[in-house]
Chain A
Amino acid sequence: MTLASLAARLFQSRLWRSFFRHGWPDNPLDRSLAMTSNVFFHLHPVKVSHKSLRWSYSFGLGIISCILFGVLVWTGVLLMFYYVPSVERAYPTMKEIQLSVPLGQFTRDMHRWSAHAMVLAVILHLARVFYVGAYKPPREFNWIVGVVLLLLTLGASFTGYLLPWDQLAYWAITVGTNIAGYAPVAGPVMREMLLGGAEVGQNALIRFYTLHIAVLPLLITMLVSLHVWRVRKDGGLAANET
């Protein structure tokens, strides 16, 4: 039995056909179906223009942001297996991760640098979209979704900043939340709601942790899906308008 006939038998098997409802994507129909019948691929359009693939047009910044988010989820989940969000245990578990967990230091480094890189990539993505005028109709709504995603990204990074519970984290969050507290009337209330008290302590740590590992990543995942899907619905990249 040759390899080719084995492959053919596999692709025609009942099992394979139950997973993938299209043939080998070497023809227009199956290439379309490959995109539309796959939940991960269907956010993409079936066809894209050469213009929108041009590197110097988009610099791939949106996809890069998305990839960095993926790296952050991956490394973040690994860190969650060891990290304990309590004032007594947080710092010791950080030390443990760095000193005794296999590849712990490396995982933490990847998480930290990806986080900074993602904030940077999202900001550059916003600037790119502005300078090519991709916020113009019919893409107004997607621009707003993007602005919200920028704010969520900043929020995700900021809430993660506290978790190591070292001097750097503690005072950065103290300074950062003080800025929010300067708003007249609502400021102190907002600050207290975020911190769960007047100062950065156990309440703040568990709130930041919950926001960081559950609320914000979920919101980002949902809005990124909406954002990418909407790019397709609005006619692809604005490069197509030219």
Chain B
Amino acid sequence: MATQLPVTDEIFPKDSRKTYSLAELMRGESPLVGKGPDDTVFSFPIVLLWEVVLLLGVTLAIFLFSLARHAPLEEIANPLVTTDPAKAPWYFLGLQELLEHMHPTLAGVIIPTVLVLFLVMLPYLDHSRANAGVWFSSARGRRIVSWTALYVLVVMPGYIALDNALGLRELLRGVVPQWVAQGLLPGAIIAVLVALPALVVWRFGGDTRELMLTLFTVMFVSAIVFTVSGFLFRGPGFKLYWPWQMPDGYNPWDGL
């Protein structure tokens, strides 16, 4: 045959006489660009085995815990008899603790909204790809996180205890308007306590990631402090007690 016939069963017939094709080189990256396949293994079966091991381990742990401790069930709900103390589920006790120190709108709405917005916006505030996949990004980052955590562990319990002893709200009642005593003032105190370590890091030339490490650690450790305070240290009347000196035989762990 002198000339080859074009392939006819395609929508765009390929002419075999053409020796070129259209192609374009693009600048861009695939998720695995610059990384050789050498350090990889097949997921089958290693990943699945890991998952089965975790499944057995986690289920066993919950199984044993369930044998050791029963879920609580108190008297039937009675809208006429308030329990003392009346506590939210443990993961909201940080907010309930905050409510003791400031206006409900600030503690129950503004602060949680700011926290969620901070979390959502985080990757857009800190968008450099440097040091992704490394715990605390660097040795310096690890030091920043440790010192910030230590700072929060001192300052936030201090704030709770001091505000509890002084009763800022009661002290300023009638002196300044309520929105100052309950909103502006505690809001400003919290804002300063949160901003202080970030300012220090910024002053020493911290980059965006290090600022975020500071702010997140303040948020995370504060949440732990307030939750522990609300869960373990609040007894009847939602007053502060040492966990081992709870009156009326109240045990915070019973309400888990």
Contacts and interface: CB of A to CB of B under 8 A. Distances in A.
Given A51-B39, A67-B54, A240-B32, A154 B91 contact: yes
A180 B113 CA distance: 11
Identify the interface centre among A25, A49, A164, A175: most chain B CB within 10 Å of its CB: A175
A41 B32 CA distance: 21
A170 B88 contact: no
A131 to B, nearest CB: 6
A174 B96 CA distance: 12
A133 B41 contact: no
Contact of B31 (A28, A57, A172, A234): A234
A46 B66 contact: no
Given A113-B62, A132-B135, A140 B96 contact: no
Contacts of A78: none
Interface string B216-249: 1000100000000000000000000000000000
A167 B31 contact: no
Contacts, number: 232
B17 to A, nearest CB: 36
A133 B59 contact: no
B132 A133 contact: yes
A158 B88 CA distance: 9
B116 interface: yes
B104 to A, nearest CB: 4
Interface in B166-185: none
Contacts of A199: 79
A91 B47 contact: no
B33 to A, nearest CB: 9
B62 A167 contact: no
Interface in A187-242: 187, 199-201, 233-242
Contact of B39 (A49, A94, A233): A49
B164 interface: no
B123 A136 contact: yes
A25 to B, nearest CB: 5
A84 interface: no
A108 B81 CA distance: 26
Identify the interface centre among B86, B105, B107: most chain A CB within 10 Å of its CB: B86
B227 to A, nearest CB: 10
A242 B133 contact: yes
A97 B128 CA distance: 53
Interface of B: 31-32, 35, 37, 39-48, 50-51, 54-55, 58-59, 62-63, 65-67, 69-79, 81-83, 86-92, 95-96, 99, 104-105, 107-109, 116, 119-120, 122-124, 126-129, 131-137, 145, 209, 213, 216, 220, 255-256
8 contacts: A31-B43, A113-B69, A131-B216, A135-B122, A143-B123, A165-B76, A171-B82, A187-B109
Interface of A: 25, 28, 31-32, 34-35, 41, 44-51, 53, 57, 60, 63-64, 67-68, 70-71, 91, 94-95, 98, 105-106, 108-114, 116-117, 119, 123, 126-127, 130-140, 143-144, 147, 151, 154, 157-158, 161, 164-172, 174-176, 179-180, 182-184, 187, 199-201, 233-242
